[in-house]
Each structure stands twice: as C-alpha cells, then as structure tokens.
Chains A and B, each alone.
Chain A
Amino acid sequence: MAVLVYAETQGNKVKKAALECVFYGKKVADAEGAECIALVLGSANGVEELGNYGADRVIQISDASLDQFDSMVHTSVIGQVVDATSAQTVILAHSSTGKSLLGRLSAKLSAGSVSGVIDVPSYENGFTVKKSVFSGKAIAEFKVKTDKRVLTLSGNSFKPEEIGTRVDVEHMDVTIPTSSVKVIEVKREEGTVPLPEAELVVSAGRGMKGPENWGIIEELANELGATTACSRPVADIGWRPHHEHVGQTGVAIKPNLYIAAGISGAIQHLAGVNNSKVIVVINKDSEAPFFKAADYGVLGDLFEVVPKLTEAVKKFKAGL
C-alpha cells in the first residue's frame, strides 16, 4: 500500500506546495499504514529533500519532455506509477496543475476525488475529508467510497516540517505518450511568491485613487516579504495586472495574513479571501463591510496609515 504524492516543480525546483503535500501525504500514509512516495516528473534538482518532509521514497522520471505540462501526458505517467506502486491514495497540490490532473486521474483510476481538502482524512465512517464550499461560506465533508482516491490539498493548510531524512532518488521506466499540446511561452513574474502560495499578502483597491500610488503598498509588501494583490475593479481598469486579482472571479487565497487597504469588502471579494487566517482592514469608511470580516481594523486614511505601518514593520524587523 502506498500514498503517492505528486510533487510539483517549477523552474527546476520543488515548489513549496509540494513540501506541504508530502508532509500531508506522510500523515495520511501513517494513518493508513502505508508508505509515502513522492513522485517528481521532469528534470528538477534537489528532489531528495522531499525525504526531509516525510517521503519514504522519491521517484523521479526526469525525461525532459515532462518539463512542459500536459495534463493528458502527466495523467498517463502518474497512472502508470500508481499501478506500479499499488498506491491507494494520490495527493496533489490544489494548484492550476494539480486541479487539472485531479479530474483526469479520478476518471482514469475510477477513483473518487475531492478537491481543495483542508484537513487530514477521518476513517471512522469510511474515508472522509473536509473541503471548503460555497466560496468559503461553508465546509462540506465528503465520503469517498472507492478503494482508490485522489485529493488536492488546499495551499497553506499545513506548515511542512522536517520530519524525515534525505532519501535516494529512484527512477522508474514508464511509457510517455506524445502530446498534442505544445507550450509556446510561459510568462511569469519572477522573484515573487505567487499569490496562491503566499503566506503574507498586502492587497489594495479603489481607495488607492490611481496606479501611480501603489508604491506605498509595494513598500509594505517588501518590508513584510509579502506578495501584492488587488481587488477586481482595480484589475479591470488596468491599474494592476490581472493575476493579482483576488476574489470570486480571480484567485482564491488562504494566506496567514491578508492586509487590505482601501477595499470595501464586497461579498465577491470576500469569497476569495475569507479563508485567510488573519485579516487586517485599513479603510477610512467606518461602514466598509470588510471590517465585519476582519480581525484587526484601522479606521483611517490609507495614505497615512500604510506608510506608518511600513515604518512599524521596519522597526520590528530591526529589533528581531
């Protein structure tokens, strides 16, 4: 028996989401009396570190053709590894890649699937797991009735810890089908943590009055080591890039800290951020609905408050 964890990579490195999945996979494997096997597709380096986070075995199929993502090809390869390892549970990150594979693997393996799982499974009444539904407004418990199951793990649900040791990387022979998808270009902002993976997020909205004022948000984000985000209207009018938009139609995120400046907190915005662990709202309108969803509120002019907060963070960091 095995729990197979698909460890996602990007730019030749294992992603943080992969560490979370391996750490989670080890918990599941322990509960099931199984071994936790991490699977890496493509030519990433340093994958033996997955052992540190709980993988009992690491399998890497380093064929360069797997560096480009095609859900059809990757599903075929993962399916072959599932068969070879007799894996019963497959775990993926709840990312654009993981979500694209989840449904395919479910269909391929005739396995029940649950997307965006937030907790370890319970085995009391069959195999059950929890996930967030209705855009964060409720939690549902899903029961998987098939012997095999596929899950995506919601990002930032577990903080990976070093619970194991490095393991030797194994190779496995598989048949790689030809792809009818050709990736031409990947445009990605380098050097920043992408929003769905960010632990700290500083976000701003229409209250900023114009794109030229974003410097104070970026400074705060830099000081904190946070990723910047924005509300829908701001992305729609082109003040900020589309991929920064968090909310119902944008990215749904779950950071430890979400700081929102000049965002009123419409229900569509909350749908994307209400799973954040701690929410700080800075707004000059005491009626802003966002205050009701916040842990900490600052009623004031963001153009005064945000730079003061940046100074305070600087002072704090200097004193650490």
Chain B
Amino acid sequence: MKLLVCISKTPETTAKIAFSDDKTAFIKDGVQFIMNPYDEWYALVRALELKEANGGTVTVLNVGPSSNDIIIRKGLALGADDAVRIDTDPQSAYYTAAQIAEYAKENGYDIILFGKETIDYNGSEVGAMVAEMLNLPFASYVSKLEMTDDKAIVSRDIEGGVEVSEITGAFVLSAAKGLAEQRIANMKGIMMSKRKPLKVVPPSDVENPVSVTGYSLPQGKLGVKMLDPENMDELVRLLHEEAKVI
C-alpha cells in the first residue's frame, strides 16, 4: 500500500498568541513550533501501523519553507520511509491543497491522510479540497480504520455518535483522536531519519483565493464572580437575570 501523510507545522498548544501592532501578523518570535498533533499522533501513526501490518510505503509531505525540515525529519524518525517538501509558504487552505493535489496525482496513493484540522487555523479544509481536486472519496473525522482485502472500513465521528462506512478504492481521510496512539521516536529512528530521502519540489502556480486581513483577541472575561456554595439559588438567579442564559 502506498500511503501519503500530509503534515503541517503549528505553534504548540500552550504558545502565547500575540500579533504585530497593526494586528496583521502573528508574532512568531519565541513561539515553539511542532508537527500538528492530529497529523502526527493519529494520521501518521495509523499509516505506519498499516504499513507494518500490510507492507507498503509511507511518505510524509509538507508544504512549507526549509525551516520546516525539522518537523519533516521527525516524521521520518517516527518511521516514514521518505519525505517531500513543496517549497513554498502554505498561504491558504486552497493554495496548500492545490500544491498537494498536484504532487499526489502524479504518484497514485492508496490513502492520503490528514489530521482533522490544524490547531492554529482550525480550518478542516485541506483534506476535503485535495479529495475533490483528485476526485476521490473523503472520510472525515476518522477515529477507526480497518483494511480488508478490497475495502476500507472507517468510523467517522459525527455529532453525538459514530458513522461506520465501507469505501472501495483509493480515498482521502482526516484523522481524529482514537485512530491511533501517539508514538515517541526512538534513537534508532532519529539516527535513520537523517539518511532518509527528503525531496524538495518547487511549487505550482496557484492563485490564492483568500487572505487574512487582520487579527483581534476575543473579548476577555470580566473576572469571575465567586458565589456562596450554600446559596445556589443566587447562582440560578444570576444565570437567569444577569447572564440571561436560562
């Protein structure tokens, strides 16, 4: 099986989010960047498990500048066979998806895996776009994936439950919690990752349909109002009269 795992780079979960004075740029100084957790913990690890069980290859792909090589090497250290970096900034979901689709269509993958969303822009768009661009089925929010001889059985997280379906042929999926368990790269993997191939590909010419024009911070809480634990009638009164939520 030929598997492609698309990974992206995001600020780590606890990073301080701050913007330039004119509120048009995210300040990256001092922010630690990581491989997007959904891509790493679930999509990549499940791809590696499938390869271990059925044979095949796992390629990691990133759209980004050379400073992203560190997270790509991490993917290789975890067990991917080779890597591709499309050498351009991921300017928008559409732009990024078009780059990935252009590369993937030449290479005929059985499954293309994404994390369900990145933890920075929370867009959840790129996987679906790639699926449409390649005219493939798309299974989103997949928390379980089993392969039979000719079919994939996927469980998708839907509102308040799970939907189980069968997919025939190549497809694209986005990975949710439950699909696999996070792995830690071992020393051997890290040493081997340095010798594994990382191919750098020039970007395709794609028009960017959206751009971010500015950022703001959400209205902060005014501060917590502490209530007497003996007097829950007062809390209910406040929720009704002041907050107007019940």
Chain B residues whose C-beta falls within 8 Å of the C-beta of A97 in the assembled complex: 158
Partner of B213, one of A125, A138, A195, A252: A125
* Nearest CB on A from B245, distance (A): 4
Interface residues on A, range: 35 or more
* Cβ–Cβ contact B160 & A189, under 8 A: yes
Partner of B122, one of A100, A115, A188, A315: A115
* Cβ–Cβ contact A189 & B125, under 8 A: no
Interface 1/0 per residue, A62-103 and B, CB below 8 Å: 000000011110010000000000000000000111011111
Interface 1/0 per residue, A108-142 and B, CB below 8 Å: 10111111100000000100100011111111111
Chain A residues whose C-beta falls within 8 Å of the C-beta of B159 in the assembled complex: 95-96, 188, 194-197
Q: Is the interface of B mostly helix, strand, loop or mixed?
A: mixed
Partner of A103, one of B37, B122, B129, B222: B129
| A192-B216 Cα distance, complex, nearest whole Å | 35
| A296-B234 Cα distance, complex, nearest whole Å | 11
**A299 and B138 in contact, given A111-B209, A189-B160 (Cβ under 8 angstroms):** no
| A183-B163 Cα distance, complex, nearest whole Å | 7
B123 (CB) vs chain A CBs: closest residue: A115
| A245-B176 Cα distance, complex, nearest whole Å | 12
B163 (CB) vs chain A CBs: closest residue: A186
Partner of B141, one of A96, A101, A181, A299: A96
Asked if A305 is at the interface of the complex by the 8 Å CB criterion, the answer is: yes
A193 (CB) vs chain B CBs: closest residue: B160
* Nearest CB on B from A258, distance (A): 10
* Cβ–Cβ contact B129 & A143, under 8 A: no
* Cβ–Cβ contact A144 & B210, under 8 A: yes
* Cβ–Cβ contact A195 & B235, under 8 A: no
Asked if A164 is at the interface of the complex by the 8 Å CB criterion, the answer is: no
Chain A residues whose C-beta falls within 8 Å of the C-beta of B236 in the assembled complex: 309, 312-313, 315-316
* Cβ–Cβ contact B215 & A315, under 8 A: no
| A114-B210 Cα distance, complex, nearest whole Å | 8
**A298 and B167 in contact, given A71-B138, A292-B224 (Cβ under 8 angstroms):** no
* Cβ–Cβ contact B127 & A103, under 8 A: yes
Interface centre among B38, B119, B229, B238 (most CB of A within 10 A): B229
* Cβ–Cβ contact A115 & B163, under 8 A: no
| A264-B38 Cα distance, complex, nearest whole Å | 24
B214 (CB) vs chain A CBs: closest residue: A141
* Nearest CB on B from A308, distance (A): 4
* Nearest CB on A from B23, distance (A): 9
* Cβ–Cβ contact B125 & A243, under 8 A: no
Supply 26 A–B pairs (Cβ within 8 Å), ascending by A: A71-B131, A96-B141, A102-B125, A103-B130, A104-B131, A108-B132, A114-B210, A116-B122, A125-B213, A135-B122, A139-B216, A140-B214, A145-B210, A145-B211, A180-B168, A181-B165, A181-B167, A184-B165, A186-B163, A189-B160, A195-B160, A294-B221, A296-B239, A312-B236, A313-B246, A316-B237
12 more CB-based (< 8 A) A-B contacts, given A106-B132, A292-B224: A97-B158, A112-B209, A113-B209, A115-B124, A140-B215, A142-B210, A179-B137, A181-B166, A197-B159, A242-B143, A248-B37, A295-B225
